Structure formats: structure tokens, C-alpha cells
Homo-oligomer: A and B are copies of this chain.
């Protein structure tokens, strides 16, 4: 009986030890026997992410299934926020070096989705990009007008306006979505843009990289000087009539060519 009682603190301590080690391990996800798999997935998905962010990967349709939890962790954790803040910071550093003519023709072009507005609440419901694109549910989400601002982008947007840049918005959304898009942008805090380009019916079927290049070329033909361009897709930034400096906002959720 005395021997039995003396085991109680030992057993309690054992439980505490198991729990505390499990908590510590859960941070790096090596608690179970599949440590190698977890680490391999993280390495693979980290390399996959670098590959899509540098445009090495080329065309892709969905996030690899094995990377769903990686993308979820990235998008909902500190790393995405840190990356967004870093891009906004280097964008502003460049913007401050631009000598503005003061004629209102010095432009910064912003894409909208995953650049100014976050669709993470929607993507969280469809497996963080692992499910194939569903036009119906996407259109419903856009129609809700509930996309929040990407906070570092909103701050950059306001700082560029204070510096004197003219803001042009260039989105792949359709013209029929103009009202809800404007409403959403205003609700998220964006104001006083010069122009908002949406796809007209004549732009239907065009690749984003072509449509966006055409619109930038229009701006240039009207005498605007495009100093900076922020977008989460390479098709926002490449093509022709490109900006003096282009800034790739991270986006491991989807790809648009």
C-alpha cells in the first residue's frame, strides 16, 4: 500500500512528461511515427511554393493534395503576413525613389484578388486550393462582397496616394461584377482610385496576361507612366507594357495564366 502510494507522483509526472513533450513536438509535427513523412511533405511543399512564386513551375491547376495543411498553415500563420509586409515594404522603398511629375500621370497598378482583397475566407471552405475551380461558388463569394483587405496592401495603397501616385485597378473580374467589387473595395477601406478596369465582354476568352498587357498599353498610350505594378499572379506582371518595377505578391492558392 505504501509502495502503491509512492507511485502516484511518478505516474502523474510521467503523464505530465508525455503531455509536455507532445505539445512541444506538435509545433514541428513530429509527434507521431510518421515524422519522416511530415518533414518530407514540408520540404516538398516549401520547394513547391518557391517554384510557383518564382514562376518556375509554369501552369498549374490545383494545390497538391499533400500540401493542403502546408498551405493552410502558411496562409493562416505568420509567414504569409510577414511575406505580405515585406513586399509592401520593398514596394514603398522603390516608390519613394520615383520622381513624380505632379501631372497625375504617375501610376501604380494594382490587381485586386489576393493583392488588395483576400479571398482566404472562401478558399478555407474549398480545401485551400486543393479543389478544382468552381465558378458558381466563386461567383457567389464575389457577390457577397465580404472579402477583407490585405492589411499591408491597404497601408501601401494609402502611402502611395500620399506620395502622389495615381492608382489604377486592373482585375480579371467581369464588368457585371463592377458594383459589388466597388462596394467591397470601399468597405475594405480602398478609396479614390483613378480607374477600375474589369473584363468587358470583348475581353472574354483572352488570357489574363494579354488582357492586362492591353490595358497597361492603353494607359501608356494615354500618357500615363506606369512606375509600379503589384499582383499575385505572374500574368498580372509579365507580357508587354510592363511597369518599371513589378512586385509579386505571394499566392499559393491558385494560378491564372
Contacts and interface: CB of A to CB of B under 8 A. Distances in A.
Contact of A47 (B21, B24, B82): B82
Nearest to A84: B47
Contact of A51 (B17, B44, B86): B86
Nearest to A91: B56
A79 B13 contact: no
A56 B247 contact: yes
A39 B21 CA distance: 19
Contacts of A7: 6
B82 A248 contact: no
A87 B245 contact: no
Contacts of A87: 51, 56
Interface string A198-215: 000000000000000000
A27 interface: yes
Given A56-B87, A82-B43, A86-B47, A13 B24 contact: no
A65 to B, nearest CB: 17
Contacts of A86: 44, 47-48, 50-51, 56
A175 interface: no
Contact of A57 (B9, B17, B24, B90): B90
A20 interface: yes
Q: Which of A9, A24, A58, A247 has the most CB of B within 10 A?
A: A24
A250 interface: yes
Nearest to A250: B50
Contacts of A10: 6, 9-10, 13
The 10 closest A-B pairs by CB, nearest first: A6-B6, A17-B17, A47-B86, A24-B24, A54-B248, A43-B82, A47-B82, A10-B10, A47-B83, A56-B247
